Chains A and B, each alone.
Chain A
């Protein structure tokens, strides 16, 4: 098994996807590419079916909330893994908070079913064409999505653990 380098992967992605990659950077040991949210499904489909790269395994789907990022508040991160080349790739798609919706990849990877339900549960991201997009870990009648940054973990009046007091 020949391990692929990140730069070789970046080149291969460029020739495969070209303009569809909005941004690309190498963070520590992994390549991270950003695609538009409308394009995410077809990019992942291409990466999976491409015989050269063959990203055959979906490791993880997760959400991230950046409340200060106007128009790009929510981020969906797909962790793909190509066992052929023993290389990982993260694909990110940003969504606006008003309409956080993205195509579900359950039809490509069945394992995405619960990962997307979890992301919906905690971030409120709607996955279109998901077979059963309901809450999974929290109770069904919960009326908010707890991992969003506007829901503080601790009492908001508590000041002893604030970064401001330590010069940050």
Chain B
């Protein structure tokens, strides 16, 4: 910021304002990179006129870890842990989306049971993701209790992850072709318990915020974006739906048998923080509906496809069976045959369309792997969403668009 002449003020984005339009003094402040209200490493250099934001310049890339480059030296099964670290609030969606991409390249058809198991896991992950996001909007509006309530529910989802893969946050769940094991009795019991108890617990928490006068006054009209602008900025997922566009990958390009389930796509009207909150809350209810349908109609059958080149054989077979030993060796050494080709596959992640563009030249690793990271794409609209608002609105806008640093910076 500098003074071009006495009456004009030039902002760091080149915009020129007349001094008469400024109420107080202009100041430049750092919002982030490390600040309790940013929930991750994001820097926004705000130019403010008193409380009012005139301009914002973003810096991204603080935790860039070169995932796309790393993927070019790793066998396909070793790329799954990389995907964990994109949107770490819903890692299983990233893992399973990657497995589906590879299956598309290999032209593997997975059994119906795998589809349904995946749907259950992915919808649990979506619930966990949305619980975090919506409870953090509560924190940023000053309602700390509403942050603690859903954590007991999220804990139950993490325990379900643990039964499937032993991990909680960076799950590395499943295998190319399906899962490494079937749902175990503990998983069945815990999932039944979750389906039974979650609605009441959810509505109890929801009741703290949804019609709370203070919460509504704080969030209505904060950080709005129109459907037209959201589309121009490449919004997908709940943030786009909050602006009133009903695009959902699960419906437009159904994968993993999503066409079998009955669910609605909630949409908002104003695209503001309250609408984003409401869309996510309704999606949680719909996700639970999908889980119920998938679990009640869970088909019998194998929990993985017959892809011996990618799916690790049973340990006892490795010791007693020649083929199993060979496949075990090939998978562990990353020497499975991969066809030449390129595919794009996308899934509906917690934040929007999570895509994988995979080019294979037949080598042990992808020739090129690009992630479509929804956070990265819609975060560029953030300055436009907060210009003219107060700093406190910028905080809740940031939490309500659910920017996850891992996904933003790859």
Residues of A participating in the B interface, judged by any CB pair closer than 8 Å: 1, 27-30, 32, 56-60, 62, 64-65, 77, 79, 83, 86, 88, 90, 109-111, 113-115, 118, 122, 136-139, 146-147, 153-154, 161, 163, 166, 168
Contacts and interface: CB of A to CB of B under 8 A. Distances in A.
A29 B343 CA distance: 8
A67 B26 CA distance: 50
A137 B357 contact: no
Contacts of B367: 64
Nearest to A114: B380
Contacts of B207: none
A79 B253 contact: no
Given A147-B69, A153-B73, A137 B341 contact: no
Contacts of A111: 232-234, 377, 380
B192 interface: no
A11 B377 CA distance: 32
Most buried by B among A1, A30, A114: A114
Given A83-B252, A153-B73, A59 B232 contact: no
A69 to B, nearest CB: 12
A110 B357 CA distance: 21
12 contacts: A28-B107, A58-B234, A60-B344, A64-B359, A64-B367, A79-B344, A90-B344, A137-B60, A146-B66, A153-B69, A163-B364, A166-B335
Interface of B: 60-61, 64, 66, 68-70, 72-73, 104-105, 107, 231-234, 247, 252-253, 334-335, 341-344, 346, 353, 355, 357, 359, 362-364, 367-368, 370, 372, 376-377, 379-380, 409-410
Contacts of A88: 344
Contacts of B363: 163, 168
Contact of A109 (B234, B357, B368): B234
B68 A137 contact: no
A110 B364 CA distance: 37
A137 B409 contact: yes
A138 to B, nearest CB: 6
B231 A57 contact: yes
Nearest to B353: A59
A64 to B, nearest CB: 5
Contacts of B60: 136-137
B110 to A, nearest CB: 16
* Closest A-B pairs by Cβ, 8 of them: A111-B234, A137-B61, A137-B64, A62-B370, A110-B232, A114-B380, A153-B73, A60-B372
B232 A86 contact: no
Given A28-B104, A114-B380, A137-B64, A64 B368 contact: yes
Contacts of B335: 166
A57 B234 CA distance: 7
A152 B370 CA distance: 17
Contacts of B64: 137-138
A89 to B, nearest CB: 10
A10 to B, nearest CB: 17
Contact of B362 (A28, A147, A168): A168
Given A27-B343, A29-B104, A138-B64, A110 B233 contact: yes
B285 to A, nearest CB: 25
Contacts of A79: 344, 355, 357, 372
Contacts of A29: 104, 343
A59 to B, nearest CB: 6
Contacts of A136: 60-61
B234 A62 contact: no
B247 A109 contact: no
